[in-house]
Each structure stands twice: as C-alpha cells, then as structure tokens.
Structure 1
Amino acid sequence: MKPYLSVIIPAYNEAKRLPLTLIDIGKHLSKAEFSYEIIVVDNNSTDATSEIVKRFSHLINNLKLIRCNVPGKGAAVQKGILEAGGKIRLFMDADNSTSIDQFGKMIPYFSEGYDVVIGSRDVSGSQLIPPQPWYRRISGNVGNLIIQALLLPGLWDTQCGFKAFTEKSALRIFPLIKIGKWGFDVEVLSLAKTTGFKIKEIPVVWVNNPFSHVKASAYLQVLWEVFKIRYWLTMNKYKL
C-alpha cells in the first residue's frame, strides 16, 4: 500500500549526526495517524553511515537504505524522491536542522491544493536557534535577491533543506534536474514554477548547526548555477 509520507534524507558521512535524527523522526512518526516510510540515501559515504541505517532499521519502522553513486546532495535527493512511494515526498537534512515535527504545518496547505510546500527561515514566524552569523545572513540575503530577480520572485528562502512535494509534482520535476550539488534547490523550485505547480513558503523552526558541511564557497556555486538555470529555461534546454 502506498504510504502517505516519504521522508528522504540525503547523507554523506553522517554517521555521527544521523542517529539522533533518526531517533527524532521515528519518535514523531510512530505517533502519526498516517502511513510513512523513511529513506536514507547514502551518497558514497566513507564512514559508517550505511551501517548505522542498517542497525536502526531493526528499531525504527519503515526505515530503508538506498545508495547513490553520483556525488552531490541534489543527486541523492533526486534518487530518493524518485524511488519513494509516498503521496507526499519530503526531503530534510541529516543534521535535523528542521525537525520532522514541522511537517505538521505543511499538511493543511496540501489540502488547500498546493503542490510544493517549502520551509523558510526568512518569513514571518520563522525561528532560528541561535541566529546565523552576520556574514551568512548578508551573503544569504544578497544571494536571495539575485535568485528572486532572475528566477523566483516572492520566495525568500530557497535553500532551507525542508521541502515537500506531491507525488504528481515530484514525478514531473525531479526527472528534469541537471544540477547535482547546492544549486539544485533553486532548480527544483524554478521547474515547479515554470511547469505551473503551486508553491507555498511557510515559517519553520531551524536550529543552526555550527558543524555544518556547507562551505562559504557553496554560496558562490549556487549563484553561478542560478545563471545556468536561467539560461537553460530561456533556451528551453529542459524541453518543457
């Protein structure tokens, strides 16, 4: 039977952070009134990520492991989303920056007819614990203004790693993805907008992880990929 929710967690060398995330997800979803599956996508980890998932699969219901040999978070999310079976497909970060308990806020918007619901750190009602360093806030704000100007006007946080899609929108958007790394969030949302899917941005609680794997250079890479996405859309490289 098709589950209502598929939770996809891309993981690269997450053996230290993943256990607490899986425990939190298992605790919350075990109380849910809907069916679910949890999919960890091991993205060529060189640590014990896969072994951790295998061990926890005996403790947490409906926990699965798949592997993605193509490097990059975007590639791992794409594989997980397309192999999932849920009517709603959510991807979230392995460090649990946004807890699965925030998914409850999304459900009403799917009932209202939205196709894509994304967590945001930059709309009214969001909470950042603790606040991000000033240099990350500035670089993020500048980057978002460029993203809005070129691709996604009205969306204030394209990079929060907590996004959910209906099955229909996921199966339309994710096979088209060309970007495997940090810019894939912008690409996914741009494709959703271009293909006519309704997007809702909602506030979430986000816990800042001081040991984040995201390097400062990733912001520059995202901006370069934004220009590529704009070009591909203009030249109809996605063949929409």
Structure 2
Amino acid sequence: FAVRTGVLAARGGWVVFLDADLSTPVTEIAPAITLLRAGHDMIVGSRGHPDARISRRPPLLRRIASRFFDGVRNLLVGLAEFYDTQCGFKAYRRAALAPLFERAVIDRFMFDVEILYLARRSRLKIVETPVAWADAPGSTVRFWPGLYQMFRDLLRIRWVHRGFEVTQ
C-alpha cells in the first residue's frame, strides 16, 4: 500500500524505491537512472544475478524458502526469466508504471510480483540488473503465515489479472 501510494503521488519522471534497511545501498540509484534514461521502463534490482555483489548472505533456511518461492511463483504466474523478483530495489519510468500501480490489488510482499507480472504482460521494457546487497538480520516475515499469504497472493494475481494483456 505504501509503495503504491508513493508511486501514484510521485510527480517526477522516475520513481525509485529501496528497502528502508538499506540492504541495497543508495549508490545503486545512479546506475538505475542511467538504465531508465537509456529507454527502459522498469529496473529490477537482482541479488540472484551472477554479477550481484552480496556481502552478507541470508540464513540457509531463508535461502531455501526463497528457492521454493521461486518455483511456486514460476508455476503460478511465470516470471522464470528473472533471477530475483523480491529484491527491495526497483526503479520505474513513472508514466509507464503508474497505470499498473492503479490496477494493482496486492498490498504486501507480493506487490513486486504483481507489478512485474503486469509490466511483462504490458510488454514494457524491463531490465534486471545486479546490485550490491547485504542481508539485514531481523526479517519481519514469519515463515508459515508468510507461506500461506504468498500462495494466496500469487493465486489472486493470476485470478484478478487473467486475460490482462496489452496488445501492440
């Protein structure tokens, strides 16, 4: 909800957001803006990209859960071409993405997946770029409730946006 509200209230040409814990440092903003200036609509920061610079890895259970999530996400909504949909670093060309945020219905952790799903179906220019990243201990995600919510939200994305595709 907060990101959607911010994107829709933004007045500049670009919107960038990153996790408040600065797991991805603010130094990643300039390269993302360069990619937006080059004509991309959406920049997806990636911890899973082979060139990502990870200085502190998350705990093993979280890495296993992440792989499980990737498989379920790919099964339910696709997006297998992306290494990492959940990195808390994204940059957008506001004019291209604001309509997708207006259409979005997911308010919590899966909003990234929903926006990426809609962007891909809208045939926007999306680039996944490696970022510097360090795990910030103290995640607020609780495993079992989070697992239930993940399934629910992925199914909701698939159901609510069935048939949505921009033809050009």
**TM-score when normalising by structure 2:** 0.89
User: 1:234 is matched with which residue?
Assistant: 162
Relative contact order (alpha carbons < 8 A, sep ≥ 6): 1 or 2 greater? 2
Q: Aligned equivalents of 2:104 and 2:159: distance in 1?
A: 14
Deviation at 1:112, TM superposition (A): 2.7
- 2:21 maps to a residue whose letter is D
Deviation at 1:198, TM superposition (A): 1.3
Deviation at 1:219, TM superposition (A): 4.1
In the comparison of the two structures, how many residue pairs are matched? Answer: 165
1:210 to 137, 142, 145: 137
Query: What per-residue deviation string (whole Å, max 9, x for no partner) do you get for residues 65-123 of structure 1?
Result: xxxxxxxxxx0000111111121101111111111101122133223321000111101
Query: What per-residue deviation string (whole Å, max 9, x for no partner) do you get for residues 105-164 of structure 1?
Result: 213322332100011110111122311111111110121122233331301211111101
Compare CA radii of gyration and give the structure with the larger one.
1
Deviation at 1:239, TM superposition (A): 10
SS in 1 for 2:133: strand
Which consecutive unaligned segments of at least 5 residues does structure 1 have? 1-74
1:124 and 2:68 matched:
no
Pairing of 1:110-189 with structure 2 (within 5 A) = 110-149=36-75, 150-189=77-116
Q: Aligned equivalents of 1:223 and 1:162: distance in 2?
A: 23
Pairing of 1:57-136 with structure 2 (within 5 A) = 75-136=1-62
Deviation at 1:170, TM superposition (A): 2.4
Query: What per-residue deviation string (whole Å, max 9, x for no partner) do you get for residues 163-204 of structure 1?
Result: 011021222211111011111111111111111211111111
For the structure 1 residues 219 and 176, does the alpha-carbon distance in structure 2 shift closer, same or farther, using more than 3 Å as the test?
A: same
Aligned CA RMSD, in angstroms, stands at 2.0
Kept after mapping to 1: 8 A contact 2:7/2:94: no
Pairing of 1:6-85 with structure 2 (within 5 A) = 75-85=1-11
Kept after mapping to 2: 8 A contact 1:115/1:197: yes
Kept after mapping to 2: 8 A contact 1:151/1:230: no
**TM-score when normalising by structure 1:** 0.64
For the structure 1 residues 209 and 158, does the alpha-carbon distance in structure 2 shift closer, same or farther, using more than 3 Å as the test?
A: same
1:221 to 149, 156, 164: 149
For the structure 1 residues 185 and 92, does the alpha-carbon distance in structure 2 shift closer, same or farther, using more than 3 Å as the test?
A: same
Kept after mapping to 2: 8 A contact 1:143/1:223: no
